[in-house]
Structure 1
Amino acid sequence: MSIIEEQEVPPEVPHIQRIEVNQLQCLRVQTARAELLIAEQGAQVLRYQVFGQEPLIWMSEEAAFEAGNSVRGGIPVCWPWFGDLMRNPPEVQALHSGGRLPAHGLVRGIDWLLMENAIEGDTVRLVLSIPPVHESPSLRHLPPGLALRLEILLDDRLHLKLTTRNDSEQHVALSQALHSYFAVSSIHNVTVDGLEGCRYIETLEGWAEREQKRPLVISSETDRIYLDLPPQLAIRDDGWNRRIFLESSGSTSAVVWNPWASKARRLSQFADDAWQRMLCIETANVMEDLVELEPGAEHSMGVTLWSEPLGN
């Protein structure tokens, strides 16, 4: 069982409160419609659930919620590179000349700063930012003046917008992702719509480039980078009679990932059978969809998430 306390009764008015989940300081947002939980470490969404419905975001039952370690599940922020740095384009590799090179970048395990929080009617808005890069030991190898913030807006949907601003004196190239883990009734019950006709890189078979011919059915370990995507994708889940929608902006690439049975047994904070209950579709800027910023420029990548019953 998760150590996150669940809220069963919606509040009468929206509110924001700070709570502790094991070693992590978190922000709990509750409205009359939904609940949102965000860890200040990594600005990581841990839960998004509409009251009376199944969770939209998946969180591992074995998640540790430890300081300095990314939590398995939710929506981790991957920045300023995605995956293995050495698999990124040369322009992205060139930015990082020293220090640690963990998978998925440098910001998942550091504490972000809460810059803004506001409640207007039934809408809640939060803005979190990484600390100045020259003040953070984890970020000191990045150009001074490079800044990152995440805006989170909760109304009848969940809106995330990740913005990088380059106030350094040099050109910057980066890759990034909102590494969203979605909750599903069973991986055997789902298909992904919107990928048809798109190119993808099959990372499990020599990084070969292929084309998606039909809606995607997950039937084995999956780790694909999709390119030239339309703005909207959807996960059809017949078991829970719903369709999860992802509407992106500032992004034409995404990563689709499920570890399946064999790899699941090797993952940390991950039950042996958890692969059956989750599917990652990671809104991204990766490969040729990388972000390039001249001094003074900024880029925003966003995704809006919601679900609807099948048949709507």
Structure 2
Amino acid sequence: MTDALSKQFDAEGVSFSMKDRLMMIEVDNPFATAVITPHGASVLSFIPKQGASAGQDLLWVSDVAIYDGQKPVRGGIPICWPWFGKSDEEGLPAHGFVRNRVWHLDSAHSHDNGTTELVLTCDSDDVTRKVWPHDFHLSLRIEIGEKLSLTLTTHNLNGYDLSFTEAFHTYFAVSNSTGVEVQGMASALLLDKLTNAVPVRQQGSVHIDPPLDNVYLDQTSPVSFDDVRANRRIVIEKNHSQSSVVWNPGAEGVKAFSDMGDDAWQTMLCVESGNVLDNAVVVPSESKHAISMTIFAEKLS
């Protein structure tokens, strides 16, 4: 199968392999290397070749992640859609169902400037309609260059408005999560999902002292945080995203995840871009909505 795909998609620097039961799409261009799996259309690695993060992955994937196709890979950038968090209906998976679907690789293209573009798609069918009774076409465009850019486009194929929530559930690799200061959330409405405290407006930066599970509504500006030991600042730019989420399970919470080591919380931090809770998206019939996110690193000194 991987040989056939290599012939079908002859983009320079794009190859295919298997890890356990999951296919891996490997990209190697002048700017970076990257790994994507069609299972959930999840980017699992992005390692720039130059600049502040040269040779260092911006993304974190668990050392004990599972690649058997029964669940999403723990780490990288899972796609949460058409709901974020717990479902309103009992028995349905958290964060929607497309992160555990096998997406179709529509195209792989090498641009003249050296960047690589992949497009993966996911469509409604009899299986998805049993979980979520609506018709849709999803397209994820991934651009790999000096920066990593993702654009998720939802096409509403129904004869009525479609409402959903969504997020790029990005796991960032950090030297030490404790003490990180996340910038860009000031004035956003903070919902603390651990304490369920009365929502307040965020004042200043977000100090990371795990565990935490914070949702920031009405948050549209770029977000950044410093990975001091790695001498890099990770920057997140986004468009058509009204929400951000910051999550780390901490020393006790991580024990609830069989696909995370007990110390994993120290070297990862989820800073997610999306439209969640009260920032839900409504797309008119036969119309489209696109959310995009770009991540990159800058030197601290």
TM-score by length of 1: 0.87
Per the alignment, do residues 76 and 113 of structure 1 end up closer, same or farther by CA in structure 2, a change over 3 Å counting?
A: same
Per the alignment, do residues 169 and 39 of structure 1 end up closer, same or farther by CA in structure 2, a change over 3 Å counting?
A: same
Q: Provide the residue aligned with 1:56 in structure 2.
A: 58
Distance 2:133 2:116 in 1: 33
Distance 2:99 2:289 in 1: 19
Question: 1:45 is matched with which residue: 30, 43, 46?
Answer: 43
Contact residue 31 and residue 115 of structure 2 kept, 8 A:
no
Q: What amino acid sits opposite 1:243 in the alignment? A: R
Q: Provide the residue aligned with 1:9 in structure 2.
A: none
Q: Provide the residue aligned with 1:166 in structure 2.
A: 156
Q: Provide the residue aligned with 1:272 in structure 2.
A: 262
Q: Provide the residue aligned with 2:119 in structure 1.
A: 127
Q: Secondary structure at the match of 1:265?
A: helix
Question: 1:147 is matched with which residue: 128, 131, 137?
Answer: 137
What is the CA-CA distance between 1:230 and the residue it aligns to?
A: 3.2
What is the CA-CA distance between 1:14 and the residue it aligns to?
A: 4.5
Q: What amino acid sits opposite 2:162 in the alignment? A: V
Distance 1:55 1:109 in 2: 23
For structure 2, the 5+ residue unaligned runs are 1-10
Cα deviation per residue 1:79-104 (whole Å; 9 max; x = unaligned)?
10011022xxxxxx7xxxxx951100
Q: What amino acid sits opposite 1:104 in the alignment? A: H
Cα deviation per residue 1:202-254 (whole Å; 9 max; x = unaligned)?
11112530222121111131101101213300011111111000000010101
Per the alignment, do residues 141 and 230 of structure 1 end up closer, same or farther by CA in structure 2, a change over 3 Å counting?
A: closer
Q: What amino acid sits opposite 2:22 in the alignment? A: L
Question: 1:74 is matched with which residue: 73, 76, 79?
Answer: 76
Contact residue 146 and residue 165 of structure 1 kept, 8 A:
yes
What is the CA-CA distance between 1:134 and the residue it aligns to?
A: 2.3
Q: Provide the residue aligned with 2:293 in structure 1.
A: 303
Q: What amino acid sits opposite 1:129 in the alignment? A: T
- Greater Cα shift, 142-151 or 294-303: 142-151
Cα deviation per residue 1:145-190 (whole Å; 9 max; x = unaligned)?
3111110011211000011000111221000111000000111252
TM-score by length of 2: 0.90
Per the alignment, do residues 144 and 105 of structure 1 end up closer, same or farther by CA in structure 2, a change over 3 Å counting?
A: closer
Contact residue 133 and residue 142 of structure 1 kept, 8 A:
no
Q: What is the Cα-based RMSD across aligned positions, in Å?
A: 1.7
Contact residue 179 and residue 209 of structure 2 kept, 8 A:
no
Q: Give the total of aligned pairs.
A: 286
Q: Provide the residue aligned with 1:219 in structure 2.
A: 209
Distance 1:188 1:208 in 2: 25
Distance 1:230 1:111 in 2: 30
Distance 2:62 2:22 in 1: 16
Q: What amino acid sits opposite 2:119 in the alignment? A: V
What is the CA-CA distance between 1:123 and the residue it aligns to?
A: 1.1
Distance 2:221 2:29 in 1: 28
What is the CA-CA distance between 1:119 and the residue it aligns to?
A: 0.6
Distance 1:197 1:234 in 2: 15
- Equivalent pairs: percent with the same residue? 33
Please say if 1:242 is aligned against 2:244. Answer: no
For structure 1, the 5+ residue unaligned runs are 1-12, 87-92, 94-98
- Greater Cα shift, 276-285 or 61-70: 61-70
